[in-house]
Amino acid sequence: MNPQLVYLVQTETTVGFLSQNSEKLATSKQRNKKQPFIRCVDSLETLKEFARVPTKFKNRVRRQKQTTFVYQNSEALRVIKDETHLKFLKKLKWAYSSSANLTGEKFDESYAKQKADIIVEDERGFFESKASQMIKINQKKARRLR
Q: How far apart are the first and last CA of the chain?
A: 32
Whether residue 85 is predicted with pLDDT greater than 90 in this model: the reply is no
Using an 8 Å Cβ cutoff, are 71 and 52 in contact? Answer: yes
Q: What is the pLDDT of residue 47?
A: 92
Whether residue 115 is predicted with pLDDT greater than 90 in this model: the reply is no
Set out the domains of the chain in order of their start, with CATH numbers.
Answer: 7-144 (3.90.870.10)
Q: What is the pLDDT of residue 100?
A: 83
Whether residue 129 is predicted with pLDDT greater than 80 in this model: the reply is no
- The pLDDT of 65-75, averaged and rounded, is 90
- The pLDDT of 105-110, averaged and rounded, is 80
- On average, the pLDDT of the chain sits at 88
